[in-house]
Amino acid sequence: MKKKLTLAKEPDVGTIQAGNTIYRVFVQDIPGEAVGDYTATTGPNHPLGSGRNLLFGSGSPGTSFNTFRSYTTMTDYTVDDFATSAPPFTKVNIRQFGATFPLGTSGARTIYVLPGPPATPDALTIVQDVNVIGTAFEDSYIEVKVKITNNSKADTKIGIRYLWDTLIGEDDGPTFQTLNPIGPLRTKETEYDQPEFEAFQVADNDSNPNPPTYIVFGTVRGPENIGISTPPTRIQYVSWSNSRDTTFDYTIDPNRNIADEPINDSAVLYYWGHNEETALSLKAKGGSFTSVAALFATKPGIVPPFINNNICVKVNRIFDVCKQEVSHTKELSVSSLKCGLLLGCEITKAHCFVTRINENTVQVCVDLSIAYKTKINGRITYEIKPLAFTTTAHLTVPENAAVICEIQNPTCESTQLEGSLVETTVHACIRLQSTGVESVVMPFVASCPVRLCTPDTVGTLEQQD
């Protein structure tokens, strides 16, 4: 923590502060220093109150920054003095080429103009905006946007890395969990190539009196109502100290626990173009690319903006149920009655199926097997005869729904007529139910991350590493 504090400075000197009443951003603007380093906190009207960190610093930037890589010239461009590049890449410090100024009242813009050889291997203009979007809690978030324009005469392949140093209260090593779909709680380093989840959340698990104190969310592929132009090609949950010593490439250790002591210091790395295969190609003389990521925060139990109404689940649903008492009479020929006596009948099999007529009416086909008990010369015999009929019922059946049909408590009564004829009346209750799979939009509630809740709220979910 002390090492980090030496990287930060008081926000009233050499730092542009901006935002709205929900979020505040702080960006380094002293010429010759780490121009463009940034951090963020809540504002006075946020439900958490003022001054809650979303990134480390308490308003003093110094531990979160962006790096820009040229695969064409094998160069990493950064303003950080301590980070180093792994060969064959070389590091170029671009502090002298950068300047920061207010972006209205909501943020700060840093522009790095790399002139090209011999001063810099590449001729690039890099525009970094750290900006607060929105006016109220429901529509406010912090956006970090980078646009790189290629000014050289040759096509250039680039990569972009954001390093976000997360901090919640006194916990410098918050846990990590993917959202939509929700994933296991992570306390060890992990990475996701071509990530498919919509967002992630980080939450404190120690160092504070009653964690989780609050939750910080970061965008990945969405949500849809935040303009994510191109999702990152890689997301890493990493040790801050180890990853911060690198300008770009970082190799995770899946056995390194970064959310608990003795390390207890985590960060999130965003990559666009994490290797040459995923690199972003900028056409000569003006080709450009823009990366966007956003973050915001809530209390546990408060529905976060943007993610609300964006979690869609498929559920089995019963649309309608009805019961209908039916009776049907029919004359049948029972051959054994030509020289015998009818003793009675019973239904041995009963089933039904449904033909949909319209949205509110169905036709039910009833198919029965009836055993007729007869006595011939003192001997008891049974003869099975089919009996079928149709009826209609009122049932709501939406498009693509299925209907379950069940015959309950069927009975029969028979009267012997002349010759082999018998009159049979059947009685039954027909139960109908329309069912189907329906997509339901569920409000997302920022509850406790898995494993951090009390046992009675966690259910059967367990941590997986």
For the domain spanning 2-298, the CATH number is 2.70.98.10
pTM of the model: 0.70
Give the number of other CB atoms < 10 A from CB of residue 353: 11
Q: Is cis: bond before 443, omega within 30 of 0?
A: no
**Is the Cβ–Cβ distance between 337 and 171 less than 8 Å?**
no
How many residues in the chain? Answer: 465
CA distance 274 to 325: 68
Answer whether 329's CB lies under 8 Å from 413's CB. no
- Contact between 84 and 91 under an 8 Å Cβ cutoff? The reply is yes
Q: Which two tokens stand for residue 201?
A: 């959340």
- The domain spans of the chain are 2-298, 315-440
Question: Which structure tokens are listed for 22?
Answer: 């929900």
Strands (E), 152-198: 156-164, 175-179, 190-193
Token pair in block for residue 238: 């990493």
Walk along the chain (465 residues) and give the pLDDT tens digit of each residue. Answer: 545 655 555 444 689 999 999 999 999 999 889 999 999 999 999 999 999 999 999 999 999 999 999 999 999 999 999 999 999 999 999 999 999 999 999 999 999 999 999 999 999 999 999 999 999 999 999 999 999 999 999 999 999 999 999 999 999 999 999 998 889 999 999 999 999 999 999 999 999 998 999 999 999 998 888 878 899 999 999 999 999 999 999 999 999 999 999 999 999 999 999 999 999 999 999 999 999 999 999 998 777 777 754 555 677 889 999 999 999 999 999 998 888 899 999 999 999 999 877 888 999 999 999 999 999 988 999 999 999 999 999 999 988 889 999 999 999 999 999 889 999 999 999 999 999 987 765 555 555 554 444 443 333 333 444
What pLDDT shows up at residue 443?
53
Q: Please report the pLDDT score of residue 311 as a whole number.
A: 54
| Burial of 44 per CB tally in 10 Å (0-12, 13-18, 19+) | exposed
Classify the phi-psi angles of 97: left when phi > 0, otherwise alpha if psi is within -120 to 50, otherwise beta: alpha
Q: Are 110 and 128 in contact (CB under 8 A)?
A: yes
Q: CB burial class (10 A; 0-12, 13-18, 19+) of residue 300?
A: middle
Nearest to 296 by CA among 189, 200, 229: 200
Q: What are phi and psi of 163, to 5 degrees?
A: -110, 115
Phi, psi dihedrals of residue 168, rounded to the nearest 5°: -130, 110
pLDDT of residue 463: 41
Residue 82 DSSP code: S
Q: Report how far residue 96's alpha carbon sits from residue 82's, in angstroms, rounded to the nearest whole number.
A: 16
